[in-house]
Amino acid sequence: MSASYTPHNQRIIDQFTRWAKPFAELPIHAEADSLREAVAACAVTEGVTVLDVACGPGIVACALAQQGAHVIGVDLTPAMINQAKSRSANSKVAVTFQVGDARNLPFQKGAFDRVVTRYSLHHMEDPREVLAEMIRVCRPGGRLVVVDATPAPEAQAGYDQAETLRDPSHTSALTVSQLLFLGHEAGLSHVLTSQYRLESRLEDQVAPEDWSALKAMFLEDIASGQDRLGMGAWQAEDGIRFHFPISIVVWTKPEN
């Protein structure tokens, strides 16, 4: 099933075609502790079927396959799927990767035991629509896992402003309460919420043409001492550093 090439989808494809290789190679995306938490949240056992939605370069998908799960990864950007296939081959794990739209997943109802997405919901114009598709393809009693940035409510606007400058395919990062409400609204049963902070260097995450404006924004935030961006930025010896505020939310789909 082909993806729907809306203007926003094209922004995502443009951004992640350009960043596919550096994104795949940036250590933060495969940082051991955070990856271990995401894998643990999926609670896979041998033979469990998993769909990784907006799988990017296949980091989570390959880690789950190494646990014995049967994994399919779907992403809108062909260049990311190519990176994922390379990772799978290099890791010597069997994962199926294909191009697909998170809003219109090319799978039957109830096809998977687990459905997961990591660091993707903030790219979606309608997260509710994406979660509904994830629920549709999850079997009754199955587990749904969302891992994404969740700024504090008072910093949400500033966070979105900074992220949109850094990445034009960003839409809005939900707060923890907003994310939990989506699951409640959809009738899911909440299992757990956990949080961690992922440290990064600003210069590693920014295109050269956006560096000056974003650096000025972060320096102003640091000088204010108010953390309006919600990232706890600070000036380190190697440049500006900050934290992505990440939450893992796990639900189960009702049996009936």
- Residue 196's nearest CA partner among 174, 176, 170, 211 is 176
Q: For the chain, which residues make up each domain, given as ranges? A: 7-154+170-200+245-252
Predicted TM-score (pTM) above 0.85: yes
Distance, in Å, from the CA atom of 156 to the CA atom of 181, rounded to the nearest integer, reads 16
Distance, in Å, from the CA atom of 33 to the CA atom of 242, rounded to the nearest integer, reads 17
Residues 135-169 have pLDDT tens digits of 999 999 999 999 999 999 999 999 999 999 999 99
Q: At what angle do helices 78-91 and 7-25 cross, to 10 degrees?
A: 30
Question: Which superfamily, per CATH, for 7-154+170-200+245-252?
Answer: Vaccinia Virus protein VP39 (3.40.50.150)
Q: At what angle do helices 176-185 and 127-137 cross, to 10 degrees?
A: 50
Task: For residue 19, give the DSSP letter.
Answer: H
Arithmetic mean of pLDDT over the chain: 94
